[in-house]
Amino acid sequence: MMWHRHSCLCWCSGRLRRKNGMTAAHPTVSRAVTSPKIFLLSPASTGGIRAKQFTSPNAKFEAARMYRSPEGVPIAMAFAFMSSLYFRGKIGYARHFAQPSPAVGDDHGVYIIAPGFGLVPPDWRVTPERMKIMSRTPVDVAKRAYRKPLEEHARALANKLEPDAQVVLLGSVASGKYVDILWPVFQHRLRFPAAFAGLGDMSRGGLMLRAVRANRELECTTLDAPRHRTTGDGKIPEGW
C-alpha cells in the first residue's frame, strides 16, 4: 500500500507541536527498550456539523484552507477539528506513548482508520476527493468498500510486526465495526484501554489528555475483558 508523507504535520515528536517552534509542556516518555506498541485510531465522523464547517468553501481557518489546497490537509489535523476533544485526545495520547516497530520501519507507530482507504499514517493527506470517498463509505463490516482495505492493511501490518508487539485500539470496542475486522488479524496482540469501558467520547478524550499531561499510560487489556460498563457512572475514574 502506498502512503504519501509530508513534512508539515503539526502532530509530531510524541506531543502537539506549534508551528512557531514552541512545544507543549509535556515531557517525552523516557523508558528502556520495550516491545513495540502500535496505536490504531478510529475515524472522526465526516457527516457532523463540524465536518460541514470544515469542508465549507467559506471557512477561513488554516486547516480548512489546507483542505482546499492541492496538497490537502493531514488527516490528523482534519479529524482533530471534526471530532474535537475525542480525537485530539486520541492522537495526542497515541503520539506520546507509541513505540514504533523496527520491523515495520515507520517512525510514528500510529495509524488512523480512514473509511474506504484502510489504515493511513497521521500525515496522510485529505483532499475534497478523498473526503467524498470517506463520507460515502459507511463504517460497517458488511460493506466491502470499508472492510476490504482495512482488512488488507491490517494483515500487511500484522505480518511485519514482531511477535511481542501490542496493537492498541483507541476506538469503540462495544460494537463490531472495528473489532470484527481487527481481532481475527491481530488476535491476542489487540488491546484497548480498560478505562474506556462505559465512558462517552468526551470523557475518553479528556482522560487521554490527562494521561499525556501526567506521562502516565492507561492500563490496557485484551478483548476478553468486559467492554461495556457494568458499574459506575460513566465518568472519568477517580485518580485522573
For residue 168, how many other CB atoms are within 10 A of its CB?
A: 24
Domain containing 164 equals 35-45+85-124+140-222
237 found inside a domain: no
pLDDT tens-place string over residues 110-161:
999 999 999 999 999 999 999 999 999 999 999 999 999 999 999 999 999 9
User: What pLDDT shows up at residue 238?
Assistant: 61
Q: How far apart are CA 6 and CA 72, in angstroms?
A: 10
The C-alpha cell at 136 is: 460515502
Q: For the chain, give the percent of residues with pLDDT over 70.
A: 80
Residue 163 C-alpha cell reads as 511477535
**Chain Cα centroid distance, residue 23:** 21
Is residue 9 assigned to a domain?
Answer: no
Residue 14, sorted as left (phi over 0), alpha (psi -120 to 50) or beta, turns out to be: left
Which amino acid type is present at position 53? Q
Q: For position 198, what pLDDT does the model report?
A: 80
Residue 11: predicted pLDDT = 40
Residue 8 belongs to some domain of the structure? no
The per-residue pLDDT for range 30-56, each reduced to its tens digit, is: 445 689 999 999 999 999 999 999 999
pLDDT at 183: 95
Query: Which range (8-17, 71-80, 170-179) has the least confidence?
Result: 8-17
Nearest to 80 by CA among 213, 209, 212: 209
Distance CA 5, CA 108 (A): 12
Segment 62-108, tens digit of pLDDT: 999 999 999 999 999 999 999 989 999 999 999 999 999 999 998 99
Quote the pTM value.
0.82
Least confident of 195-204, 210-219, 227-236: 227-236
Any domain includes 144: yes
Q: Is residue 19 part of a domain?
A: no
Write down the pLDDT at residue 84: 80
Count of domains in the chain?
A: 1
In a domain, 240, yes or no: no
How does pLDDT run across 216-237, given as a tens digit for each residue? 999 999 987 544 444 444 556 5
- Domain membership flag for residue 52: no
Report if residue 108 sits inside a domain.
yes
- Looking up cell 491490517 gives 154
**CATH number of the structural domain spanning residue 183:** 3.40.1360
